[in-house]
Structure 1
Amino acid sequence: MSTNPCADQLLIALAPPRRIAAISHYSQEADESSIPLDVARRYRGIAGTAEEVIALKPDLVLASSFTPNDTLAAYRRLGLKVLLLDSPTTIAASREQIRTVAAALGERVAGDALIARIDGAVAAAAPKGAARPSALLFISGNLASGGPTLLGEMLGRAGFGDSGRAFGLTQSTPLSVERLLAHPPQVILDPDPGSRTASLRREILGKAGYRVVEARFPRALINCGGPTIADAMTRLAAIRAKVVR
């Protein structure tokens, strides 16, 4: 079983359904999930409390490195095998995490197949020309991503310049539209272009005379690495193809 959304998508990608005792309930909520909701809702959802996990007696618990120490201690006191997963900040680190989880599950073939799918999507998204339109990715509202992150690497691999660096962003940081006017990107990626914040940003940039291409980049492609990387790279390549003609 798994107890957080990023572990959930790894477990579902690598293990056959009959082996999955439960996933976190977060993956059954639209804003948190990196898995199609109809898929996530096929499985039992849990909050990840020690009582829930222990009652199901899993052979392996995929937990986050942010799991409370008391909860981890309870798992281990009862002899449960626990694999702690961090949040990879590079594609290479995501590959290694997939190998680790696949080995722990005894599903190395599935792990190799997933890595091959990711590598294929990264290669297919490599830009054909030299143009690198500057892009800024908003995670939600005015929260922007920038710097040496997994999302930043994916933008670069897909042929975009990371506009977040112009604002000194090193992680997910609130970015006001006033600051945005100082260095407007050529492309804005947003999980919800129809939101009030996005509409206001669009209006202000337009009145200032800036022509910025907006593209939807679903929240499900932002939350995690792992299997999500393949879909994210495919989406980024499609966006760049429309911007660079």
Structure 2
Amino acid sequence: MSVGRRIDVANALALAIALTSAAAIAYACSPRTAVGGAAIAVAAPTIVEALPDGGVGVRGSDQVAVRVADYRRIASLVPEADEALAVMGMVDRLSAIGAYSRGHSVYARHLAAVPGTIASGSGVEDVLTLKPDLVLVSAFSDPGRTERLRAAGIPVFHLGSASGAAEAALAVRRIAALCGESALGDRQAERFLQRLARVADPALSKTAACYVECVGTQLFLASAGTNQSDILVAAGFEDAAARVGYRGYGECRIEDLLRIAPAVIIAPVGSGATLAGLVGSAGIPAIAQHRIIEVDAGLLSSPGVAMLDAAEAVAAGRGRLP
């Protein structure tokens, strides 16, 4: 930015600093939060930025900045955004949520007061009918629909692809900041990370575990850089797959699990019997010793603040292992 440009936005920048200064101080003094003994970087303190027209906004994952405003008719196509608004007590700002959140979110009871439901496969006209003042989308949303909504004059904020506790905390801060509630978002994000860090029983050893998902006859592994990995680490386990070089989410084979040799497997409900029945699986320590923790699939796959609920469920399951 040129010197002249900096002068042009000086007032707006001052407002942005006023909105975020308290949070910046807190985050600068404590830049990392330990989750299950592993340090997770907290997002950079600057969320609100000056806009060219003198206003302030928040930049989405698609690099499009959306103006900060008192949004009261938010149409959300992102389940983790619905969870974030629920934990912050901001459900009254939602005018519609997706069908998944309506029927499957761990916060469904809190979201029941939201009047509208966006059905799977809904088009632009369906969303416009809701008369939203803001639409929340993610990396899984149709980019063409996003462009058409913006062309119709609707602000659309892109939350990206959440992948772990730090990203979940960032989503909380972004959503709150968009609604002019930066301080609330900062507090809730820090509270989420701190509570996640306290889930594990410090008296227990960090047993090697991994997350495995069965889809028909296919196996999928989630390791470092995923919400499932952060969940099992928060519950007090060591990520066995990350220890031997695996990262991310993808298809795996029995041979991979034999190499990883987890003492415990974390899996969606109903997966234990399937895993035990696979040829060669008896050589996997967790299966041979019947040490599989099964948790609700939706909870384990949540990339949002429901990760805390998932970690607590995994930690509770550890206490029931033989």
In the superposition, the TM-score normalised over structure 2's length comes to: 0.63
State the SS of the aligned residue for 1:128.
Answer: coil
Give the drift of 1:109: 5.7
- What residue identity is the alignment partner of 2:220? L
Contact 2:139 2:159 in 1 (8 A): yes
Supply the AA of the counterpart residue of 2:84: L
Q: CA deviation at 1:135?
A: 0.7
SS of 2:202's equivalent?
coil
Contact 1:140 1:192 in 2 (8 A): no
- The CA distance in 2 between the partners of 1:215 and 1:221, in whole Å, is 13
Q: CA deviation at 1:201?
A: 4.4
Match of 1:190 among 246, 267, 270: 267
The C-alpha deviation readout for 1:50-92, integer Å capped at 9, x for no partner, is 1111111111111113433321121112211111011233422
Q: In the alignment, what sits opposite 1:122?
A: 196
Ranges in structure 1 where 5+ consecutive residues have no aligned partner: none
- Tell me which moved more, 46-55 or 122-131: 122-131
Identity %: 26
Which residue of 2 is the match for residue 74 of structure 1? 148
| Alignment pair present for 1:91 and 2:162 | no
1:175 corresponds to which of 237, 243, 252: 252
Q: Aligned with 2:265: secondary structure?
A: strand
Structure 1 partner of 2:297: 219
Q: Unaligned stretches of 5+ in structure 2?
A: 1-74
| Structure possessing the higher relative contact order (Cα contacts under 8 Å, 6 or more residues apart) | 1
* DSSP-derived class of the 1:135 partner: strand
* Structure 2 CA distance for aligned equivalents of residues 178 and 111 of structure 1: 44
Corresponding position of 2:138: 64
Residue 225 of structure 2: aligned partner = 148
**In structure 2, distance between residues paired with 1:241 and 1:175:** 28
CA distance in 2, matches of 1:215, 1:120: 24
Counterpart of 1:3? 77
CA distance in 2, matches of 1:148, 1:194: 23
**SS of the residue 2:211 aligns to:** strand
Give CA deviations for 1:189-235 in whole Å, capped at 9, x if unaligned. 11123565234149942899931411112212222233212212322
Q: For residue 117 of structure 2, what is the aligned residue in structure 1?
A: 45
Distance 2:294 2:151 in 1: 46
The normalised TM-score by structure 1 is 0.80
Say yes or no: does 1:26 pair with 2:103: no
**Aligned residue type for 1:137:** Y
Residue 96 of structure 1: CA displacement? 1.9
More helix by share: 1
1:233 alignment counterpart: 311
SS in 2 for 1:21: strand
Partners in 2 of 1:127 and 1:5 — Cα distance?
A: 29
Larger CA deviation: 159-168 vs 1-10: 159-168
Aligned residues: 241
The alignment yields a C-alpha RMSD, in angstroms, of: 3.2
Letter in 2 for 1:53: V
1:136 — aligned with what? 210
Q: Could you tell me whether the CA contact under 8 Å between 2:137 and 2:159 is conserved in 1?
A: yes
SS in 1 for 2:288: coil
- CA-to-partner distance for each residue in 1:125-167, whole Å, 9 max, x for gaps? 2441472211111234322211332322332343212122366
